Structure 1
């Protein structure tokens, strides 16, 4: 089934626009999580960044020649507009995501999974975090482990749902942790009992891809 599933440039355009809507809807929630252990600006910053992508999307879509260019320029907008750690991390995710599909306006499901793997690798390289540090890596790396198990005979929609479920559990796993990165590190044991905002936003943003895959499954 997965070998018959292809995702075009319009899929990524819609996903980015839907991510922009999500950041507006979740801005206060993500910011409240960050207020507990960080600078209190995670939701606000992501909202500003994705608002920039949304405002420029029509021009970006027309001016970019392939999926890679669309994602790279979107990532550059995040880098330029988003403060704190989330701008460089999410910017790097999208800039690296399409690197292996340069020149393509349509990708296979397997290529799509590879794109997400590349994005996660970029986040880890940029942030230098490991599982247990109370960062978005606590969601991303368990998700990456799921992606590495993919077999072509698997149902693509159920498989991606499993990826999201594992990422969500990873975000939950940050609650009892002491932070080893970022401003939350200064809190020591006072960070225990609070969910990391980056881990929460990461699975929710990836879930936008999941929801748009489900739309494709119904066509």
Structure 2
């Protein structure tokens, strides 16, 4: 399948892409647990694994006719199964951006950028975190900005995801220099410096995995 034909994904392709994303996040459970154990509660990897496992179960047992329903299924699966702040925040990454949107039968780079821009705002309203607070926002906001810039530059879907992945990774690296404003890490003050944020790392893994799936499908 050429890059040209993959500039718009149908609901089944979006479902397959996020099944792959979930698989990669679950595989990263030991890494996320290790990162979170350094300055947090150590349960981030477990929570993300539970959330994406539930999402996989619900994605596999349903057929989808709209992109909206794929995103909603993932988000609601995470919120209902994970509990706690991470479940709400990462669930909102999927449900927050589709709220009020007309049903979509294809996902293009522009619509992905719009969905995630809305999701970013919803997460900020819910969690009250901003850039520099050592949270998932530090990877998600730069990734969204990269997607928007790619749309403006008329990049392909794959190139947009590549740039979003790179921006998310820069965001993860930046969290090492921040003092945490939320969670257990907040009590550590400057001792949290030098450690990356687990939530930001998960955001990077999500974008990296989306890119890998599109890349792999392009090469078939």
Query: What TM-score do you get using the length of structure 2 for normalisation?
Result: 0.89
Q: Structure 1, residues 104-142: CA drift from partner, whole Å, max 9, x if none?
A: 222333212222222222222221111111111111112
**Is residue 2:193 matched to residue 1:192?**
yes
1:10 deviation in Å? 1.3
Alignment gaps of 5+ in structure 1: none
Residue in structure 2 matched with residue 8 of structure 1 by the alignment = 10
Contact 1:11 1:212 in 2 (8 A): no
2 CA distance for matches of 1:189 and 1:144? 28
2 CA distance for matches of 1:208 and 1:182? 27
Residue in structure 1 matched with residue 20 of structure 2 by the alignment = 18
**Is residue 2:202 matched to residue 1:208?**
no
Contact 2:96 2:123 in 1 (8 A): no
2 CA distance for matches of 1:155 and 1:54? 27
The aligned runs of 1:19-38 (5 Å cut-off) are 19-38=21-40
1:42 deviation in Å? 0.2
**SS of the counterpart of 1:148?**
helix
Change in CA separation of 1:146 and 1:2 when aligned onto 2, cut-off 3 Å: farther
1 CA distance for matches of 2:118 and 2:209? 18
1:145 deviation in Å? 2.1
1:152 deviation in Å? 5.1
1:156 deviation in Å? 3.5
Q: Structure 1, residues 12-57: CA drift from partner, whole Å, max 9, x if none?
A: 2112211221122110110111111111100001101111111222
Residue in structure 1 matched with residue 147 of structure 2 by the alignment = 147
Contact 2:59 2:73 in 1 (8 A): no
2 CA distance for matches of 1:4 and 1:42? 33
Residue in structure 2 matched with residue 89 of structure 1 by the alignment = 89
Change in CA separation of 1:155 and 1:53 when aligned onto 2, cut-off 3 Å: closer
Task: Choose 82-91 or 96-105, whichever is displaced more.
Answer: 96-105
Contact 1:3 1:108 in 2 (8 A): no
Alignment gaps of 5+ in structure 2: none
Contact 1:71 1:95 in 2 (8 A): yes
Task: Choose 162-171 or 4-13, whichever is displaced more.
Answer: 4-13
Task: Choose 25-34 or 49-58, whichever is displaced more.
Answer: 49-58
